[in-house]
Amino acid sequence: MSTVNDHDTAEEQPSQEGFHAEVNSGLEPILVERLFTPLLRWVPESVAPNTISLIGTLVAWLTLGLTYLSTQLAPLGQGLALAGAGVGVFLSMTADCLDGMQARRTGRTSKLGEFLDHWLDAVHVPMVSAGLGLALGLEPWQVVLILITTTLIYNAQLVLYHFSGRFVHPGTSGVDGQFFVSLGYLAAALLLPTIGINPLVKTGMVLIAGAVQLRLNVFYYPRLGRHIVAHIPFVLLCVGYAVLYLLGAMDTLAFSLLVIIVSWRVTGTWVLRTITKRAYSGWDFSALLWLMLLTAAHFVPTVGRSLGAVLPCLAYVICAVLVAHNLGDLARHYRELL
């Protein structure tokens, strides 16, 4: 049984129009023309677009692993791991663009392809910010600021997509962000192992990034209009998990993974419901109940004792359960996506 709200109301109905993207970025068209289009010529037509999407996701997970590993290594190893993360972000970004281009080139556009593209982006978007938080060793409040604001942007974008049929980008796009993050990793690979980055510089970078991302949230909120209420449940979930993290209920890695998976669960459900023309309110009661359990486990002694050895890894258990829910939803609706 699905854990999401299935109640159909007039306000919750998705757009019945065909979906189209509105790209307002100045950099992305240049990258498409000068980089991705020439690269596409080297991709055999026999390669399925969805295969490219899945490879991009695998690379993104490997990149996140490199960012975490970089903090455990000696200076030379740290530099190499960060350089690898920069290359990984770039490759994942490239795959995210090439899959759609390959689909159009080979005439294999499909609902499943559109679904996978946006569904997997619900993982990719927070993963980029999570990797930065891990690699730079940011303070908890800094991790919360850059990770949550990034994740909220994509959720708001998908809520608008659900109700309007328009996949609207602000003056920048995910491609722009990933391009500059990849350059940032390469710069960090040179600086961190040798002279490091001054804490004041880190704070300034985080505040600027947070301000930019909050501005992007503001870009979407007026456009959502009355449908902004469908975005609020995700905001509350993110705030809840962030408060637990700031109170010491989990470490940075656990918090980062939770935000990534909760994004995949909720924002990914927006994608599924949009493609299959089903209503959705934005509430995911499984993620909410797990939030309540995690809160009780860490702040109610009797609950914590009852969980015993499970308590230290509870955040990872929650991630595993939410992943299983998402895969279950995909299995149940798979025929509708073909």
The per-residue pLDDT for 31 is: 86
Phi–psi pair at 167, nearest 5 degrees: -95, 95
Question: Does the structure show a pLDDT above 90 at 60?
Answer: yes
Round to whole Å and give the CA distance between 261 and 244. Answer: 16
What is d(CA 135, CA 114) in angstroms, rounded to the nearest whole number?
32
What is the pLDDT confidence band of residue 328, given thresholds at 50, 70 and 90? very high
Q: What are phi and psi of 22, to 5 degrees?
A: -120, 105
Q: What is the pLDDT of residues 135-157, one digit of tens each?
A: 999 999 999 999 999 999 999 99
Query: What domains, with CATH codes, occur in the chain?
Result: 25-337 (1.20.120.1760)
| Average pLDDT, integer, range 72-83 | 93
Start-to-end C-alpha separation, the chain: 22
Secondary structure letter of residue 284 according to DSSP:
B
Give the tens place of pLDDT for each residue, 151-176: 999 999 999 999 998 888 876 777 88
**pTM of the shown model:** 0.91
Q: Which residue has the higher pLDDT, 23 or 115?
A: 115
Q: Which residues contact 113 (CB under 8 A, 6 or more apart)?
A: 49, 50, 53, 99, 100, 103
- Separation between Cα atoms, residue 179 and residue 337, nearest integer Å: 31
DSSP 19: P
- pLDDT for 177: 82
| pLDDT per residue as tens digits for the range 87-140 | 999 999 999 999 999 999 999 888 899 999 999 999 999 999 999 999 999 999
